[in-house]
Amino acid sequence: MRVVYNLEGLACASCAAKIEIAASKLENVDSAFVDFSTSRIFLDIHPADIHALKHALQETVATFEPDVIVTEQSTKLERPTLFTVQNSSFFLGMLSFIVALFVPGGPLKTALYIMSYVLAGYEVIYKALRNLRQGQIFDENFLMTIATLGALAIREFPEAASVMIFYRTGEFLQSLAVDRSRRSISSLIAIKPETAHRKVQDSIVDIPVEDVRVGDLLVVRPGERIPVDGEVVHGSSSLDTSALTGESLPQEVQEGEEVLSGCINLSGLLTIRSTKLARDSAVSRILHLVENATTNKAPTEDFITTFARYYTPVVVGIAASIAIIPPLFFGGVFNDWFYRSLVFLVASCPCALVVSIPLGFFGGIGLASKQGVLVKGSNYLQALHEADTIVFDKTGTLTSGHFSVQKVTSVDPFTQYDVLEMAAHAESASSHPIARSIIRAFDASIDEGSITCIEELSGFGVRASYQGSEILVGSKHLLERFGIEVTGNNDQSGVYVAKDGGYAGSISLMDEPKRGARRAVEVLQSMGTKVVMLTGDASRVSGQVAKELGIEDVRSELLPHQKVEELERIMGEKQVKGKVVFVGDGINDAPALARANVGIAMGALGSEAAIETADVVLMTDDPLGVVEAMDTARRTNRVVWQNISLAFAVKVVVLSLGALGMASLWEAVFADVGVTILAVLNSSRIIASKSQMEKRSV
């Protein structure tokens, strides 16, 4: 069982990591995960008293962050309050420092510096002492307190005060930058309506969306979001579906058509009949996927979390060695080497890594959702970045799945009409696109009374009893399975028909490639990605489609289980490290979606099977969504590694200079909070950036 709580006021990334570790040790808690990007904690628990659990969690959180409140309901992000007691004290400390700069040397100048230090840094010192009592030593508060008190001990009063002021300024700017990123991320997924207008006889009643029942009549005015999934019963309008599908062009809807929650009604007044509850509607499923995506950490995140846990104690040990060993064994001046150790301490905090990397991945997930791509976790975002082979299913993925009968052939004594009639009646109970196209081509009424039995043979076709005869309709493999020899035009692709054990004829169908399929293949290949197509169609037809799309590697005439075998063969053929992505329609291809390194379900917003099985869900039928997903994954990982490189490079330089006595506490503070601010701002670029597909289309 999983429960989720919000941590209001959480602003410390290292504290978030400590809360995560402590919460995982609570009674009845199997595991805990704190998502700093959204200020939430996820708890996997045994059946337990939820009220007692929340109380225990609040006590645990308070030991690290007394001002953080555990709440059950998600609250809207409020802008941070600037005029607080802490900020006022900090401002007075800064004012005292400025006055001290203009006071002549003497006791008054020293007193002003000390006053400045206390006013600006009392909160940092208090947190360090509180954490020390609880055995939590190695954090940024401890490092800053030790470093600045050390500066005071060697009578570096101006530097102690200025470093604390600079640190607090950096912390304040960092909190603003994190808040900006959180606000940007929240705006991407804040598409869930809060109220609905229920029609009761001749009146309209406003109710919470959660109170909408299946079958309710709801009024949606121009400019409002559709509250739940439903069917239009009156009116027509244009819908802005960009929040769900990433499609910028409005979608026209008429009476009888389905509409999804979260879409904006642009023009006409609509009356819809709800077909799903709010919790089951499209927008709720989207928000659930996006908000819970951060629980699946990327390997990079796991590495940095583990690294930070051991990194700071090691650095503190090195700093102590710098302060002690040279004066004791090599005749060094204690004050000089002690100061170097202080610089080393301040520069060591890994905040830039701990804060910016989760924000970067969550920003990528948020951007993908804005483009109509739902990524279930940052681990899949990183796997997409590493993918070098994309395997597409053909029907419904690269092609439209809207078949049309091109030609009917028959063998004596059957006519073309006989073949079409038998196929239409045998397929009459099927909703498969091929079956519907055959029924449309028959263009006559179906005599249901003449059909006594229909059996679907998965992956092959159907067997039916029609007018007392056994009819087989399906692939060539189906007829071979029953020992029926295909005569005449046996190289023709399509659907084969047999009656009472004898071959009757075949139906040739055409499935057109989707509009964006060729463009998607071209762009993926230009990105250095190998494209493979798997299909159950005959080799001649699949070869024609592949040629039109520019795909060279085609594997045809595959049954559903053979697609999985072929996918495993492709994964086994790889000589270099890389991931294999499978793209399918999300229902028939569920086994292959589950087997691939990353499974992408195409156009499967309404499919529960797709959402459960796939790692990435595209909310449109456009193959270009795969390109968007790949592009966003690469951009996200590029920014994440920029942050890692920046943080490590600056820290290595400043730590080295500090140990050599060539850096001051000012540079050390920049290596901590300054780099953190730069990394957070760099992460926010992911959210603000434009799609590469938009740029390519210009």
Rounded CA-CA distance 637/649 in Å is 18
> 575: pLDDT confidence band, cut at 50, 70 and 90?
low
> 497: pLDDT confidence band, cut at 50, 70 and 90?
very high
Pair 499, 545 in one domain: no
Pair 383, 239 in one domain: no
Cα 509 to its chain centre, rounded Å, is 38
pLDDT at position 425 is: 93
Rounded to the nearest 5°, which phi and psi values hold at 585?
A: -80, -10
Tell whether the model's pLDDT for residue 348 goes beyond 80: no
Domain boundary among 512, 547, 580: 512
Tokens 């209001």 — which residue?
8
Pair 569, 469 in one domain: no
Give the CATH number of the domain where residue 55 resides.
Answer: 3.30.70.100
Q: Which of 273-277, 562-566, 585-589 has the highest mean pLDDT?
A: 273-277
Rounded CA-CA distance 327/109 in Å is 31
Q: Are 521 and 531 in contact (CB under 8 A)?
A: yes
Pair 609, 523 in one domain: yes
Q: How far is CA 23 from CA 29, 52, 308, in A?
A: 8, 13, 19
Rounded CA-CA distance 246/620 in Å is 8
Whether 589 is covered by a domain: the verdict is: yes
Domain boundary among 614, 649, 674: 614
Whether 491 is covered by a domain: the verdict is: yes
Domain with 52 in it: 2-71
Count of H-run helices and E-run strands, the chain: 24, 26
* 610 C-beta neighbours (distance < 10 Å), count: 24
pLDDT at position 696 is: 41
Give the CATH number of the domain where residue 606 resides.
Answer: 3.40.50.1000
Q: Are 542 and 535 in contact (CB under 8 A)?
A: yes
Q: Are 243 and 371 in contact (CB under 8 A)?
A: no
Pair 20, 66 in one domain: yes
Rounded CA-CA distance 162/198 in Å is 61
Pair 439, 390 in one domain: no
The pLDDT mean for the chain works out to 81
Residues marked as catalytic: 393
pLDDT at position 646 is: 87
* 72-92: average pLDDT: 69
Tell whether the model's pLDDT for residue 691 goes beyond 60: no
Whether 439 is covered by a domain: the verdict is: yes
Pair 508, 534 in one domain: no
Whether 350 is covered by a domain: the verdict is: no
User: Which tens digit of pLDDT belongs to each residue from 521-533?
Assistant: 999 999 999 999 9
> 693: pLDDT confidence band, cut at 50, 70 and 90?
very low
pLDDT at position 692 is: 45
Domain boundary among 238, 256, 276: 276
The alpha carbon torsion through 459, 460, 466, 471 (nearest 10 deg) reads: 180
Whether 202 is covered by a domain: the verdict is: no
In a 3-state reduction of DSSP, which class is residue 194?
A: coil
| Single pTM value for the model | 0.67
Give the CATH number of the domain where residue 251 resides.
Answer: 2.70.150.10
User: Which tens digit of pLDDT belongs to each residue from 429-449?
Assistant: 887 778 888 998 998 889 888
Q: How far is CA 210 from CA 196, 205, 279, in A?
A: 9, 14, 7
Q: How far is CA 55 from CA 5, 27, 34, 74, 515, in A?
A: 12, 12, 17, 18, 56
pLDDT at position 500 is: 92
Pair 33, 67 in one domain: yes
pLDDT at position 272 is: 94
Pair 410, 508 in one domain: yes
Pair 392, 518 in one domain: yes
> 275: pLDDT confidence band, cut at 50, 70 and 90?
very high
Candidate from 134-138, 347-351, 662-666 with smallest mean pLDDT: 134-138
Q: How much is the CA Rg of the chain, to the nearest whole Å?
A: 32
Whether 178 is covered by a domain: the verdict is: no
Tell whether the model's pLDDT for residue 142 goes beyond 90: no
User: Which tens digit of pLDDT belongs to each residue from 24-81?
Assistant: 888 888 888 887 767 788 888 887 778 888 888 888 888 878 778 888 765 455 555 6
Domain count, the chain: 4
Pair 466, 541 in one domain: no
Tell whether the model's pLDDT for residue 259 goes beyond 70: yes
Catalogue the long-range contacts made by 310-313 (C-beta closer than 8 Å, 24 or more residues apart): 311/348, 311/350, 312/138, 312/139, 312/143, 312/348, 312/349, 312/350, 313/138
> 232: pLDDT confidence band, cut at 50, 70 and 90?
very high
Whether 429 is covered by a domain: the verdict is: yes
Give the CATH number of the domain where residue 476 resides.
Answer: 3.40.1110.10
Pair 453, 542 in one domain: no
- Exposure on the CB side of residue 542, measured as CA atoms within 13 A: 19
Name the residue among 293, 369, 398 with its Cα closest to residue 619. 369
Rounded CA-CA distance 323/336 in Å is 8
Using the CB atoms, write b or e for 376-404: b if 16+ within 10 Å: bbbbbbbbbbbbebbbbbbbbbbbbbebe
Whether 77 is covered by a domain: the verdict is: no
Using the CB atoms, write b or e for 239-263: b if 16+ within 10 Å: bbbbbbbbeeebbebeeeeebbbbb
Rounded CA-CA distance 80/285 in Å is 30
The structure tokens listed for 258 are: 């389905």
Rounded CA-CA distance 545/512 in Å is 8
